Amino acid sequence: MADVFVYVQHLLGIGHVRRMALINRAIRDRGLSVMVASGGVPDDGLDFAADQVTQLSPCKTADSSFSILVDPKGNRLGDDWKETRKAELLTAFVDARPKLLLVEMFPFGRRAFRFELIPLFEAAKAAGIPVVCSVRDLLVRKKDPAKTQWMATIARKYLTRVLVHGDPNVFDFARSFECAEQIADLITHTGYVAADPGIKTTASRSGVLVSAGGGAVGAELIELAIAARQYSGPYGQAKWDIVAGPHFPSDRFNNIASTLPDGIELHRFLPDFRERMAKAAVSVSQAGYNTLMDVLSTATPAVMVPFADGGESEQTERAEILSKEGVISLLDLDGLSAQSLAKYIDRASQPANVRIALDGAQKTAAIIAGMIKGQV
């Protein structure tokens, strides 16, 4: 049994897992139990912060277009796999007998998984269990208005609450979801989900921290950053930590490791990533939700190069607004050279003092606890 049944599906990066883990931890801090059903490729480095994790038959995306689902070996998945997955998910849900269902993204993303999530919603509805969607501040914009309307229709039919992990003073959910008015009564902005919102840096900072999220994409940025060190003035002799990510291609990782110059250290993963960021002189990264939250909560000077392949718009859109506010330096990978990247790193300054709510995990947990107790 579990108080909260959480569905998480990571396909390319691991940002969704990390954000949900912070929420799960906050829920458990309120004395509630959490069971996670994970549909992504298992990884020993992933911590869901749950009492129990059920691994569904895993899948990932074949490439950054997100158009094809494959198994961990790259084999394309078909209808038989879908039936197996649906059965596994529904069995886990029934066995857990939860008081609340919390689903990451769907129906505002993960449309490819409607084959199992619509039946899951139906099961929750039949059992009288509230269904809550956990969704980031900005969505990838859809070119087909019918798909946007479908999201609103599904949300209206099945969801009890839509918890948007953003600050409406920065981005209202309607900014990237044109049908938000249709479900306005369901939407609550929780603030951004960041670890330990009160953490601050020490007075002295040194070195450069380069990261690529989960590592499934970002190899070009990492290789460019390594080449940029020799052109840096203040940081040319400083230590640079390069965090490739758990899903960075092994052959490319080994090639980079074998040719690293002195003063640069390559890591797959750093368990103390945020602590290192709080001490770094500059952070260089993509503009993923979680890395940006780390930058904001540690007030670290940051240079960001958004991931924008496969029609992904949310990193660029979020970064553009915060760049105008003086929070980060924003670059475009197209045409970027090692020399120009070095100049931006050298010029990076501490983020402007922008007031952004970073207590989203705690507020989300409070809302969920209240729903379970019948208070909200």
Measured between alpha carbons, how far is residue 307 from residues 95, 215, 216, 362 in Å? 39, 11, 11, 28
Residue 204: what pLDDT? 85
Task: Provide the residue type at 229 as one letter.
Answer: R
Average pLDDT over every residue of 364-369: 98
Rounded CA separation 365/132 (Å): 12
Looking at every residue in the chain, the average pLDDT score rounds to 90
> Is omega for the bond preceding 107 within 30 degrees of 0, making it cis?
yes
By CB atoms closer than 10 A (0-12, 13-18, 19+), residue 42 is exposed
Report the range of poorest mean pLDDT among 1-5, 52-56, 315-319. 315-319
Q: For domain 4-193+358-372, give the CATH number.
A: 3.40.50.2000
- What's the CA gap between 39 and 58, in Å, rounded? 5
Q: What is the pLDDT of residue 365?
A: 98
Q: What is the mean pLDDT of residues 118-135?
A: 98
Residue 27's pLDDT is: 98
The type of residue at 43 is D
> What's the mean pLDDT in 291-320?
82
Question: Alpha carbon 285 to chain centroid distance?
Answer: 14
Average pLDDT over residues 283-305: 90
Least Cα distance to 339 among 198, 212, 224, 251 occurs for 224
Ranges of each domain in the chain: 4-193+358-372, 208-347
Give the confidence band of 169 by pLDDT, cuts at 50, 70, 90.
Answer: confident
For the entire predicted model, the pTM comes to: 0.87
User: What pairs with residue 208 in β-bridges?
Assistant: 240, 282
Laid out side by side, the sheet with 131-136 consists of: 52-55, 34-38, 4-8, 100-104, 131-136, 161-165, 187-189
- Domain 208-347 is classified in which CATH homologous superfamily? Glycogen Phosphorylase B; (3.40.50.2000)
Which one-letter amino acid corresponds to residue 263? G
| Amino acid 311: pLDDT | 55
Q: Look at 118-132, 168-182, 251-265, 287-301 and tell me which has the smallest mean pLDDT.
A: 287-301
Give the integer Cα–Cα distance in Å for 119 and 113. Answer: 10
Strands (E), the chain: 4-8, 34-38, 52-55, 60-61, 69-70, 100-104, 131-136, 161-165, 187-189, 208-211, 240-243, 264-267, 282-285, 302-304, 329-330
* Strands, E assignment, 115-215: 131-136, 161-165, 187-189, 208-211
Please check whether residue 75 is in contact with residue 105, taking contact to mean a CB–CB distance below 8 angstroms.
no
Domain 4-193+358-372 and domain 208-347, same fold? Reply is yes
Question: What integer pLDDT is reported at residue 86 of this predicted model?
Answer: 98
- The pLDDT tens digits for 10-57 are 887 777 888 999 999 999 999 999 999 999 998 877 889 999 999 999
pLDDT > 90? residue 124: yes
Q: List pLDDT tens digits, range 177-225.
A: 999 999 999 999 999 999 875 555 556 899 999 998 766 667 889 999 9
Considering the chain, what percentage of its residues have pLDDT values greater than 70?
94
